[in-house]
Amino acid sequence: MDAQQPLTTLVPDPAEIVGLIEKLVEGRWPRSEFDRKTLFLDLGFTSGASWDDAVTATETHHYSLGIGEKPREIMSSWTSHNGRFVGISMHLYSSMDTDNPSTRQGFEDFLQRLTALYGEPTNPWHDPVVPACVWSVNGRRIVIRFFNLQHSSMMLSVEDAGLASAAEAAMRRNSTPTHWNNSEEGASPFLLPRIGGRTG
């Protein structure tokens, strides 16, 4: 960001959201639906409707999430896997413009604050188009990503690291094409090997 450029007042305030992150990272993680509801009540979160297709049943479910007194300012969701609370995601400082200065300012602000709290992040995906920063703290995974293609947005998620990995593995399994005889994709089921003779 240009040092001469005046800073924009970010809504929501990054300090307020980082305060929520600290509570999620340092507090007791919900292990039951009762615990999850108690946590949401303590943090002022409101669970909303499911985002999933009712026809496609999976182990992972996504729900809209209201945060604070003005939930419309933050597009948020929460996720469960096999009935257990995985974590929350937020899209912050979204804009219809590419490389929006406020979005970039928000990303850099969160990067600075979270680095001060939890040390240098890693970038396991090495994606130059959508930069990511990941912190592993107390069994939790904090991720911020800067989306900067046609539109600008900063994504923030706080998750139970083990459950998030299990949900991702299940998603990969569910999206892997299966074939009638475990043959290679594209192999015809009618090209059967000969019995008792030369092949080819």
Question: Of 137 and 177, which is predicted with more confidence?
Answer: 137
Per the structure block, which two tokens stand in for 78?
Answer: 């929460």
Q: Is residue 99 part of a domain?
A: yes
Per-residue pLDDT at 167 exceeds 70: yes
| Cα–Cα distance for residue pair 129/182, rounded to 1 Å | 36
Q: Is residue 117 part of a domain?
A: yes
163-189 burial code (b ≥16 CB/10 A, e <16)? bbebbeeeeeeeeeeeeeeeeeeeeee
pLDDT given for residue 5 in this prediction: 54
Please identify which residue in the block is written with the tokens 């729900």: 63
| Cα–Cα distance for residue pair 77/69, rounded to 1 Å | 16
Q: Which domain holds residue 135?
A: 14-169
Strands, E assignment, the chain: 45-50, 60-67, 75-81, 84-95, 132-137, 140-148, 152-160
Task: Tell if the pTM clears 0.75, that is, is over it.
Answer: yes
Q: Is residue 3 part of a domain?
A: no
Q: Is residue 149 part of a domain?
A: yes
Sign of the C-alpha dihedral computed for residues 31, 32, 34 and 36 taken in this order:
positive
pLDDT given for residue 22 in this prediction: 97
Residue type, 52: D
Q: How many domains does the chain have?
A: 1
| Cα–Cα distance for residue pair 43/65, rounded to 1 Å | 12
Residue type, 24: L
pLDDT given for residue 170 in this prediction: 82
**What does the pLDDT average to over 160-186?**
70
Nearest to 68 by CA among 36, 40, 35: 40
Q: Is residue 179 part of a domain?
A: no
Name 133's bridge partners.
Answer: 144
Q: Is residue 48 part of a domain?
A: yes
Per-residue pLDDT at 111 exceeds 60: yes
**What does the pLDDT average to over 79-108?**
93
Q: Is residue 45 part of a domain?
A: yes
Q: Is residue 191 part of a domain?
A: no
Per-residue pLDDT at 119 exceeds 80: yes
Residues 6+ apart with CB under 8 A from 105: 1, 7, 8, 10, 93
| Cα–Cα distance for residue pair 75/154, rounded to 1 Å | 11
Question: Of 109 and 99, which is predicted with more confidence?
Answer: 109
CB–CB of 14/117 below 8 Å?
no
